[in-house]
Amino acid sequence: MPTMPRRRCGSERHSLPSCRRCRPCPASSRTADMGVDIYYMPLSAPCRSVLLLAKAIGLEVNPKIVNIMAGDQKKPEYIKMNPQHTIPTMDDDGFYLWESRAILSYLASKYGGASLYPSDPKQRAVVDQRMYFDMGTLYERFGKCIYPLMFHGAKTVDKDAIDKLNEALGWLEGFIGDNKYAAGNTQTVADFALVSTVASIEATEVVDLGPFPKVRSWLANCKSEMAGYAELNDDGAKSFGGFFKQAQAKAAA
């Protein structure tokens, strides 16, 4: 299970082993050792995006694996936190939140730098649009390519679903354009949301990323720049890709 490195507080007033941010902590706050609980599964792209962001902002988290195949998400204690019983789910000192893009926005706003989730209304709107695009278009269309074969008995990937995923990747190509990142020339939470999806698409090889050079360049930048990328995103994406390819081979047998 991935663990996040502890951050030492920059204040000489603290001798605790870690602090979520390098600033004096009020006496009434949680102890620095506690961190934020993230309930997740490594194969899940949305879960990986949250762990990647936590690493980037130096936030100590307690990753707690949820075995959805065994029904962990249906246990009463989990339903109490998240009645929709989805992953990831966050517990920040009793504040429960689910939906990965909402978690990204919350963590960046509370613990991250201003550039990750800008306060300027227009800049923030673009970041939000990219995350909504990831959730409602890119990830949704990717799911329609792979999940019928993985879980619902389909024998092949639907051609129309592939065409629609390629269309969505073309839109992402245009969003990036001449920028370095998905929402401009500054890395934002949108990049963390999108990179977990695109890494999974790459790993499954359900479509070819070759026709999208700007997406490939952006993905390469994320891989090289995001702290802990190999452990927190690449490994899980490759495992997910292997899972899909096994299902694909079984369906074709």
**Active-site annotation, residues:** 44
Gap between the Cα atoms of 106 and 91, Å rounded = 12
45 token code pair: 């792209």
Gap between the Cα atoms of 215 and 208, Å rounded = 11
* Cβ-Cβ contacts under 8 Å for 228 (sequence gap 6 or more): 2, 51, 52, 55
* Cβ-Cβ contacts under 8 Å for 113 (sequence gap 6 or more): 57
Q: Is the dihedral of CA 120, 122, 127, 128 positive or negative?
A: positive
Gap between the Cα atoms of 131 and 85, Å rounded = 21
Q: Is the dihedral of CA 143, 147, 149, 154 positive or negative?
A: negative
Gap between the Cα atoms of 215 and 198, Å rounded = 9
| Short-list 32, 84, 93, 35, CA closest to 64 | 35
Strands 36-40 and 89-92: antiparallel
154 token code pair: 């389909």
